[in-house]
Amino acid sequence: MTDTIEMLNAAAQNYEQIDFIENDPIQIPRKFTKKEDIEIAGLIAATLAWGQRPQIIKKSLLWMELLNWQPYDFVMNAPEEDFKRFTSFIYRTFNGDDCLFFMYSLRNIYQNHGGLEAIFSKYPDDMKQSIIYFREVFTEIPHLKRSEKHIGNPAKGSAAKRINMYLRWMVRSADKGVDFGLWKKIKPSALMIPLDVHSGRMGRKFGLLQRKQDDWKAVDELTINLRKLDADDPVKYDFALFGMGVNSK
């Protein structure tokens, strides 16, 4: 077990470098300095983060262009006619209707709920409940039922990989120049691993995950075991598991 811990710690340190940003969707919110711009750009990039990373980045950049590179100002103040430019947006199963729903929901969150940090911080010690609550608030405005599939739901067993990744971005320390450390009400120790095929495969390889499905139960199991390695910052191992998984394909 000691060898495993040493290997994972070395890999985490190796992959959590500024160079990591070059090919990762986290580069999108990194283009902003205003808190609300970072939060909104981050949520958009994380939402689109499935498939090939070059395409994820390309489509996220397109969305930022459509927002005039002012995510918060556009969401809050753009006139109705300016929203029409988003109707032709498409990335895989994410279309213009979904795009509009996301922006109207973000407007509702900042106007009526104190912003994204306030939503996710309602249950600062329980990220499952935080994500469930976020989903409830996000979907409280009128929307097409199909748009709900773009928001992971741990209540129904989803691993909610993209939201957990977004939470990692917002909460973990900015010391290494990758994550932001922007939200202080949630401690890194409360975060859950952003589980995908790569981190799941490596978790099983290292004996940290027994469950076969990549669902919320697997997220819970893997995070519990990662907390045994670092109780204060278990999700730092996302860099190790994801990085080793991608590079060992």
Helix 197-205 vs helix 237-247: crossing angle, to nearest 10: 100
- Report CA-CA distances (Å) from 179 to 13, 71, 87, 148, 224: 13, 19, 31, 27, 22
* Model pTM score: 0.96
The residues, ordered by sequence, that sit 6+ positions from 3 with a Cβ below 8 Å of its Cβ are: none
- What residues pair up with 94 in beta bridges, in sequence order? 91
Are the C-beta atoms of 71 and 41 separated by less than 8 Å? yes
pLDDT tens digit at each of 249 positions of the chain: 677 889 999 999 999 999 888 899 999 999 999 999 999 999 999 999 999 999 999 999 999 999 999 999 999 999 999 999 999 999 999 999 999 999 999 999 999 999 999 999 999 999 999 999 999 999 999 999 999 999 999 999 999 999 999 999 999 999 999 999 999 999 999 999 999 999 999 999 999 999 999 999 999 999 999 999 999 999 999 999 988 987 765
Cα distance from N-terminal residue to C-terminal residue, the chain: 24
